[in-house]
Amino acid sequence: MSSAPTSEPLSCVAGQWRRGGGDEFAVSDPARAEVVATYRGADASDAAQALDAASQAFAGWSRQVPAERSALLRRTAGLLRERTAQIAALLTLEEGKPLPEARREMAVAADALEWFAEEGRRAYGRSIPSPMAGVQIQTELVPLGVVAAFTPWNFPVMLSAIKAAAALAAGCCVLLKPAEETPLAVCELARAFVDAGLPAGALQLLLGSGAELSAALLPDPRLAKISFTGSTGAGRAVAELAGRHLKPCTLELGGHAPAIVCEDADVQQAVSALAAIKFRNAGQVCANASRFFVHESVLKPFTDAMGEVVAGLRVGPGDAEATQMGPLANARRQAAVAALAEDAVGAGARVARASGRPSGKGWFHPAMLLVDVPDHARVMREEPFGPLLPVTTFRSLDEAIARANALPVGLTAFGFTRSLACARRLGSELRAGSVAINTTQLMWPEAPFGGVAESGWGRENGAEGLLEFVSARTRVVA
């Protein structure tokens, strides 16, 4: 893939592609640390015009029968599948992930559109037996209105598609705001919606500063809902602003997922599964395992096998055919991951094995297997969001669960055991929105996903994901 400049990303307001009136932003290729595009972000005036258009479009879009909305979402999914090669290349260019991972993200995005295309047709109300003779009580699910969806840089197409699909299937209109660093592929997602026939105004694309646009959008009474995926710190700021204006939020925030490998686990299977998810997207996945609690009796076979995986990992540009792990997304992440590794070693940890990394200007960091990591090391308390794999040992399951639950976050958790009793305990006692036993597969369109405690509020995907965008209206007829 060439790192030559690409076309300028544009916002889409009221069906028109245009430059925003705000600050200028740059899109960089993480593998080469080179700017590949610049664009002008939307400002408060653009946000107001987008709200105008969405508010006007809501009356018509919300009244379309679910089957018509379903057909449009299916057409959009078909266009994404047809355009996978083109959009995946943009994903790799702006975010850095290897092309196979970018193509997988496209497939998951299309799957989500197809799932919600059908789930929107199954959003039923119900009849309630009345306590009074001659009175009928019914409920119906009513779309909330205009919603704002803020998505992060690590999975820009997938997360934008999930939010937009659920909201549109529910009958809402969407203001979509992707991360400043990764607008290219999301522009193509929005183009697929437009080309599929989505009415002008039903989906607006606003590029630019998340802080500026949220400050412009959230106080407006026409905005009914916010759906945000990002860091816990940014989520707090969104929740505070939303609370000031009594706007409901769905917040999918950071995690720091424990992975507990019990003494009776199939160690090779655990290593294969955990390595596959840990180094996906260079470790920049909020749902992946990031704290590894290994029973002391299986520490050596676990670290020996994981060390072989780490040392053999091929790190390079995402567009290179042999690459298994790409760069970090930006220089900030590179510096943050290096600081966490340095702190861990200073706290007494040892780098057991490490991958190579290419020379040059890209924002690469080697994958590292860290052993003997104390619980007070920063990497055990702060989500690394990078290719660091910190390992500590435990003696009893009670101890492992207590240490795993010691942090205030709870997005995902993982356990590996052959014991049904241990599996039941891990599944019920680990504090997380999603718990996987003997697998690392957690996210499907059919299954709700979200966190507890400081990992957020609400759920995405599944029937629960659509319910985030509707309210239940009770209708009583005498």
Any idea which residues carry the catalytic annotation? 252, 286
CA 414 to each of CA 25, 99, 237, 392, 441: distance values in angstroms, whole numbers, following the listed order? 38, 27, 29, 15, 10
DSSP 8-67: PP-EEETTEEE--SS-EEEEEETTTTEEEEEEEPP-HHHHHHHHHHHHHHHHHHHHS-HH
Cα–Cα distance for residue pair 97/91, rounded to 1 Å = 7
Cα–Cα distance for residue pair 182/231, rounded to 1 Å = 16
Q: Which two tokens stand for residue 91?
A: 């994903």
Q: Which of 350, 297, 13, 287 is nearest to 173 (CA)?
A: 13
Answer yes or no: are the C-beta atoms of 296 and 395 closer than 8 Å: yes
Answer yes or no: are the C-beta atoms of 151 and 186 closer than 8 Å: yes
Pairing mode, strands 223-229 and 146-150: parallel
